[in-house]
Every structure is written in C-alpha cells, then in structure tokens.
Amino acid sequence: MTEQALIGNCSKCHKVWTLETEQGVCGWCGKTALCLTLKAKPRSLKTRTRRKPEVPKLDYQGLTGKWESWRDIASRYEGKIPAQDRDDFRHDVMLELYRATERDGKPLPELRAYRIASLMVKLYWREQNRFSIRVCVFSGQPVACHCKECPNKSESKQCVWLATRPIARLDGEILDPEGYRTRLLDTIATDKALDLPDKWYELNEVKQGLPLRLVEIAYKMDTGKPLNTKDQVYLWRFRQEAQKSLF
C-alpha cells in the first residue's frame, strides 16, 4: 500500500498546501502561489510487528568427536529444564559424562550416557525442591500430611492429594490484609517490643485509642465501684468484637 501527497506551505499565506500540483491558486488566500516544499516521495506503509528478543546461543561449532555426541545427548533432556538454566545443565551433563569416561577408563556406552543424562534431570529438580515440604491439599489449604489416618485415600498407589510446598524463609515476603508486602524477618518481635501483659492494666497506656465510655468503665473497675447493667452489657459487647478481630 502506497501514498503520494504534497507536504508544504503556501508561498503567500504560509498555510498548509492543499493542492495536488506544486503551483496553482491557493485555496486559503486565493492567490497564485507555489508549494514551498518538494513533492514527497511515495513511501510504503508497513505494519509493525513485535519481535521476540533473541536469546544468545552458545557456539558449539568447535566440538568434535565424543564432545559433540555428549552435546547431542544433553540437548535431548534440556527441554525438561527451565530456559534460564539450560546452558548450565548442558555443561553439567557434558562434564559428568567426561568424568564417567575417566572413571571407567574406556569409551562410555551410549545407553549408559543417556541414563546419566536422565539422572542429572532428577538431581536438578531435587536440588530445586530441597527447601520444599510435602503437604496435603484435600481441603484446599496445604496442611501437614496425615496419610496413615487419612480417610480419603485414593485407589492408586500415589496419593493424588499430595503436593509440594516451599518452606517459608525469613527473607521472603508476605502479603498483609491491607495489600502491602512485608518481610517475614520484620514480623519477629524483638527485645525492644512492648510487653503487653505488664502494661495492660496501666490505664494511662490503655485509654489512648479506646472509647471514652470504655475508659469510664475501666476507672470504675480500678476503683472497685460496681458496674450497672448497661456497663456490663457494653463491656461484654466490646470483648466480643475484640475477640472476632483477633481471628
């Protein structure tokens, strides 16, 4: 698809040139004028397509002999590894096959080479999941396994409700109810934290942030005055709401 147009201004009134020829009567001022710019060249309109970023690939053109065959063996299993670790996995497999050849003192059989490569895949995922624990997800929430007492055992040998869950680390983050991310390390109480049991009955510390009605009831209880029915009902309702907010 091509487009051809005159782009410029009138030599008299300097407004946008609207004619298809370079010279003529301007539609704005009505005078014979020229287009101040030359005729634009035809240009093609191409649709822009998004190109995926090219991932640099390692050059293995210099490999020959057994190293080339080991590269081909490793490439058959690298599809089971995440893309960001495939280069490292390929090198680890090739290095392990070289070590196995040196230990045997003779060329490595092809079947054993494939076996070593498949074992390297399992060792990779074992290393990735070494900080994980097995949990039961039958109720929808990950809980500790109770296979011996579980009444929902499946007919197959492998339980379908078992899953792997990573262990929470102190440097990890959690999402609080307000939507903010907080490190687990920041939620641990320190020695400088306020000891609530010792400060709970000091009214000067507790009355800040509490309703005035509740402060009056606290003064009555502190001085030994009896509470009437309204005071008892108000105190009971406040305790019930406080218990719900904790859970």
**pLDDT per residue over 203-238, tens digit each?**
565 566 677 888 888 888 878 888 888 888 888 888
Q: pTM for the whole thing?
A: 0.41
Beta bridge partner(s), residue 9: 16
Number of structural domains found in the chain = 3
Whether 107 maps to a domain, the answer reads yes
Whether 8 maps to a domain, the answer reads yes
| Predicted local distance difference test score (pLDDT) of residue 54 | 55
- 70 and 43 in a common domain: no
Neighbour tally for 10: CB within 10 Å: 20
Q: Check: CB of residue 120 under 8 Å from CB of residue 92.
A: yes
| Predicted local distance difference test score (pLDDT) of residue 60 | 67
- 41 and 70 in a common domain: no
- The span from the CA of 238 to the CA of 244, in Å, is 10
| Predicted local distance difference test score (pLDDT) of residue 3 | 42
Whether 142 maps to a domain, the answer reads no
| Predicted local distance difference test score (pLDDT) of residue 85 | 87
Please identify every stretch of the chain with a pLDDT value under 70, giving residue numbers as ranges.
Answer: 1-6, 37-61, 167-168, 175-177, 189-209, 243-247
Whether 134 maps to a domain, the answer reads no
| Predicted local distance difference test score (pLDDT) of residue 136 | 85
Residue at which a domain ends, from 87, 105, 128: 128
- 124 and 77 in a common domain: yes
- 76 and 119 in a common domain: yes
Q: Where are the alpha helices (DSSP H) in the chain?
A: 66-77, 86-104, 110-128, 196-199, 203-206, 212-223, 229-246
- 78 and 37 in a common domain: no
Whether 164 maps to a domain, the answer reads no
39 CB-near residues (< 8 Å, 6+ apart): 4, 6, 22
- 75 and 120 in a common domain: yes
- The span from the CA of 10 to the CA of 142, in Å, is 76
Residue at which a domain ends, from 102, 128, 154: 128
Q: Check: CB of residue 91 under 8 Å from CB of residue 79.
A: no
> Residue 225: which domain range?
197-242
Q: Check: CB of residue 17 under 8 Å from CB of residue 35.
A: yes
- 43 and 77 in a common domain: no
Neighbour tally for 209: CB within 10 Å: 5
Whether 143 maps to a domain, the answer reads no
Q: Check: CB of residue 4 under 8 Å from CB of residue 21.
A: no
Whether 153 maps to a domain, the answer reads no
Report residue 183: phi and psi, to 5°: -75, 145
Eight-class DSSP state of 194 = -
Whether 98 maps to a domain, the answer reads yes
Residue at which a domain ends, from 83, 99, 128: 128
- 71 and 116 in a common domain: yes
How confident is the model over 61-72, as pLDDT tens digits?
677 788 888 888
